[in-house]
Structure 1
Amino acid sequence: MIRSATLPLQATLPALTDNSRLKLFSGSANVNLSREVTHYLGIDLGPMVRKRFADGELYIQIQESIRGCDVYLVQPTCQPVNDHLMELLIMIDACRRASARQITAVIP
């Protein structure tokens, strides 16, 4: 059973009382959506370097300290699904390596 949330987004994110612990990063699938979410929440989009090597492999580096932070990754899985899903998984790996306290994937 799938339930839809009727609460405003602010009510569903307990970390909003401490914006210093809340970090939001965007994948390449829909950066505009991520910008709208950060504008709504009153925070900045997290800086991240995204490079694609000549062989097609993707490199992601988080450009700020997220140690102990609650991280939200916004990445839809629209076409090409495989590329966007792999990018999300690599973003999750980068956040784990950077010692994020909690990682939440937002997949609209």
Structure 2
Amino acid sequence: MIISSASNKAAAAAYARTQSGVFSDDVASAVDDTAGSGSGTSFGEALNSAIEGAIQNGSETEAKAAAGLNGQGNLTDIVTSISQAQIVLQTASTVRDKVIQSYQDVMRMTI
């Protein structure tokens, strides 16, 4: 299977768009509200929103990948969706590691 240079350029452009917008606007605004004046959402709500967004992103990615395997769908959309899912997974893993590290640091504290 030979892929044209136009397809390569479209995939590269889609990947660049993915890299520039890691967080959705909803998650970014929830995090800003949590860090701000206190009139926004709580940390738990922001975390819940981020988790729900990650789950939804994963579901959409699976659907697009399945459509691609069936010969349907746009290659650029599939690559973009997979890249976004990879970034979400890496972010979730990093946050999990930081939470575990923080918990271990608290447990080592002397009272």
Normalised to the residue count of structure 1, the TM-score between the two structures is 0.26
Q: Which has the larger radius of gyration?
A: 2
Structure with greater proportional strand content: 1
Structure with greater proportional helix content: 2
Normalised to the residue count of structure 2, the TM-score between the two structures is 0.25
